[in-house]
Chains A and B, each alone.
Chain A
Amino acid sequence: MSYTINVNGTPHTVDVDGDTPLLWVLRDSLELKGSKFGCGMGLCGACTVHINGTATRSCITPMSAVGNSNITTIEGIGTSETGRRVQDAWLKVDVVQCGYCQAGQIMSATALLNTNQKPTDKDIDNAMSGNLCRCATYARIRAAIKQAAGLPITDSREV
Chain B
Amino acid sequence: MTIQSTPHAGADTAVSRRAFLSVSAAAGGGMLLALTIPQHADGSVSVHKSAAEVPGKDTDINAYVTIAPDNSITIMSKVPEIGQGIKTSLPMIIAEELDADWSTVHILQAPLDPKLYGAQFAGGSFSTPLNWEPLRRAGAAARAMLITAAALTWKVPESDITTSAGKVLAKDGRSMTYGQLASQAARVIPPDMKNLVLKDPKNYSIVGRSIGGIDSPKVVTGQPLFGIDVTVPGMRYAVFQKCPVFGGHVVSANVDEIKARPGVLNVFLIHPEGPTGLPDGMAMGLQSGVAIVASSWWQANKALEALKVVWDEGPVASQSSAGFAAKAQELSTQKPHKVIRTDGDAKTALAGAAKTLEAAYSYPFVYHCNLEPQNSTAVFTDGKLEIWSPTQNPGSGKTLIAKTLGIPDDAVTVHMTRCGGGFGRRLGSDFMVEAAMIAKLQGEPVKLLWNRTQDLQHEFYRPGGFHYFKAGLDAQGQLIAFTDHYIGYENNGRASNSSDLAAGEFPAKYVKNLELATSTMQLGVPTGPMRAPGSNAHAFVFQSFLDEVAHAAGKDPLQHLIDLYAEERAAPPPPAPPRPPGRGGGGPGFPMGPPFSGKRAQGVLEMVREKSGWGKRQLPAGTGMGVAFYYSHLGYFAEVVQATVLPADGSIKVDKVWVVGDVGSVIINPTGALNQCEGAALDGISQALGQQITIDRGRVAQTFPEYPLMRMYQAPQVQVDFKITPFSPTGLGEPALPPVIPALCNAIFAATGKRIRHLPIDTNLLKT
Given contacts A100-B371, A129-B712, contact A137 B222 (CB under 8 A): no
Specify which of A43, A46, A134 lies most central, judged by the most chain B CB atoms within 10 Å of its CB: A134
Q: Are B369 and A159 in contact (CB under 8 A)?
A: no
CA distance A74 to B5 in the complex (A): 17
CA distance A44 to B672 in the complex (A): 24
Q: Is B656 an interface residue (CB 8 A)?
A: yes
Q: Are B642 and A159 in contact (CB under 8 A)?
A: yes
CA distance A103 to B221 in the complex (A): 7
CA distance A34 to B336 in the complex (A): 53
- CB neighbors of B among A63-98 (8 A): 73-75, 78, 87, 90-91, 94-98
CA distance A133 to B705 in the complex (A): 15
CA distance A105 to B124 in the complex (A): 29
- CB neighbors of A among B204-230 (8 A): 210, 212-213, 215-217, 219-226, 228-229
Q: Is B515 an interface residue (CB 8 A)?
A: no
Residues of A within 8 A of B296 (CB): 16, 20, 24, 28
Q: Are A38 and B452 in contact (CB under 8 A)?
A: yes
Q: Are B222 and A103 in contact (CB under 8 A)?
A: yes
CB distance from B622 to the nearest CB of A (A): 14
Residues of A within 8 A of B423 (CB): 134
Across the two chains, which residue of chain B brings its CB closest to A100? B420
| CB 8 Å contact bits of A13-52 with B (1 = contact, 0 = none) | 0001101110010001001111111111101101000000
CA distance A126 to B711 in the complex (A): 10
Q: Is A136 an interface residue (CB 8 A)?
A: yes
Interface residues of A, dominant DSSP: loop
Given contacts A43-B704, A44-B371, A138-B715, contact A37 B228 (CB under 8 A): yes
Q: Is B763 an interface residue (CB 8 A)?
A: no
**Surface stretch bound by A, among B13-21, B82-90, B135-143, B282-290:** B82-90
Q: Are A99 and B420 in contact (CB under 8 A)?
A: yes
Q: Are B220 and A138 in contact (CB under 8 A)?
A: no
The total of chain B residues at the interface (CB under 8 A) is 66
Q: Are B216 and A35 in contact (CB under 8 A)?
A: no
CB distance from B103 to the nearest CB of A (A): 15
Q: Is A141 an interface residue (CB 8 A)?
A: yes
Q: Are B709 and A97 in contact (CB under 8 A)?
A: no
Residues of A within 8 A of B237 (CB): 28
Residue from B217, B299, B449 in contact with A37 in the complex, judged by beta carbons closer than 8 Å? B449
Residue from B221, B222, B705 in contact with A43 in the complex, judged by beta carbons closer than 8 Å? B705
Q: Are B679 and A97 in contact (CB under 8 A)?
A: yes
Residue from A95, A98, A138 in contact with B82 in the complex, judged by beta carbons closer than 8 Å? A98
CA distance A39 to B709 in the complex (A): 13
Q: Are B220 and A135 in contact (CB under 8 A)?
A: no
Residues of B within 8 A of A157 (CB): 717
CA distance A37 to B298 in the complex (A): 11
Give the contact-size bracket for chain A. 35 or more
Residues of B within 8 A of A57 (CB): none
Q: Are B711 and A139 in contact (CB under 8 A)?
A: no
Q: Are B222 and A34 in contact (CB under 8 A)?
A: yes
CB distance from A23 to the nearest CB of B (A): 9
Q: Are B224 and A33 in contact (CB under 8 A)?
A: yes
Q: Is A146 an interface residue (CB 8 A)?
A: no
CA distance A159 to B231 in the complex (A): 48
Residues of B within 8 A of A75 (CB): 221-222
Residues of B within 8 A of A147 (CB): none
Q: Are A99 and B678 in contact (CB under 8 A)?
A: no
CB distance from B678 to the nearest CB of A (A): 6
- CB neighbors of B among A103-158 (8 A): 103, 106, 124-126, 128-142, 155, 157
Q: Is B710 an interface residue (CB 8 A)?
A: yes
CA distance A151 to B228 in the complex (A): 36
Q: Is A58 an interface residue (CB 8 A)?
A: no
Q: Are A40 and B228 in contact (CB under 8 A)?
A: no
CB distance from B721 to the nearest CB of A (A): 15
Q: Is B422 an interface residue (CB 8 A)?
A: yes
Residues of A within 8 A of B83 (CB): 96-100, 135
Across the two chains, which residue of chain A brings its CB closest to B228? A37
CB distance from A56 to the nearest CB of B (A): 16
Q: Are B222 and A74 in contact (CB under 8 A)?
A: yes
Across the two chains, which residue of chain A brings its CB closest to B455? A39
CA distance A136 to B656 in the complex (A): 15
Q: Is A7 an interface residue (CB 8 A)?
A: no
Residue from A100, A124, A136 in contact with B679 in the complex, judged by beta carbons closer than 8 Å? A136
CB distance from A114 to the nearest CB of B (A): 17
Q: Are B216 and A34 in contact (CB under 8 A)?
A: no
CB distance from A105 to the nearest CB of B (A): 9
Given contacts A74-B221, A100-B420, contact A94 B711 (CB under 8 A): no
Q: Is B342 an interface residue (CB 8 A)?
A: no
Q: Are A34 and B223 in contact (CB under 8 A)?
A: yes
Across the two chains, which residue of chain A brings its CB closest to B226? A100
Q: Is B370 an interface residue (CB 8 A)?
A: yes
Q: Is A55 an interface residue (CB 8 A)?
A: no
Q: Are A99 and B682 in contact (CB under 8 A)?
A: no
Q: Are B216 and A28 in contact (CB under 8 A)?
A: no
Q: Are A97 and B371 in contact (CB under 8 A)?
A: no
| CB 8 Å contact bits of B669-691 with A (1 = contact, 0 = none) | 00110011011001100100000
CB distance from A20 to the nearest CB of B (A): 5
Residues of B within 8 A of A106 (CB): 220
Residues of A within 8 A of B372 (CB): 36, 38, 98, 100
CA distance A131 to B449 in the complex (A): 21
Specify which of A33, A75, A126 lies most central, judged by the most chain B CB atoms within 10 Å of its CB: A33
Given contacts A41-B704, A97-B84, contact A102 B219 (CB under 8 A): yes
Specify which of B216, B228, B229 lies most central, judged by the most chain A CB atoms within 10 Å of its CB: B216
Q: Are A96 and B220 in contact (CB under 8 A)?
A: yes
Q: Is B297 an interface residue (CB 8 A)?
A: yes
Q: Is A5 an interface residue (CB 8 A)?
A: no
16 further A-B contacts with Cβ under 8 Å, apart from A31-B5, A33-B224, are A28-B297, A33-B5, A33-B223, A90-B220, A91-B212, A94-B216, A97-B85, A99-B215, A99-B216, A99-B219, A100-B371, A103-B222, A134-B423, A136-B682, A142-B715, A159-B655
17 sampled A-B residue pairs with Cβ under 8 A:
A16-B296, A32-B222, A36-B372, A37-B228, A38-B452, A41-B704, A74-B221, A87-B220, A96-B216, A98-B420, A102-B219, A130-B711, A132-B711, A135-B421, A142-B715, A159-B655, A159-B656
Chain A interface residues (CB < 8 Å from chain B): 16-17, 19-21, 24, 28, 31-41, 43-44, 46, 73-75, 78, 87, 90-91, 94-103, 106, 124-126, 128-142, 155, 157, 159
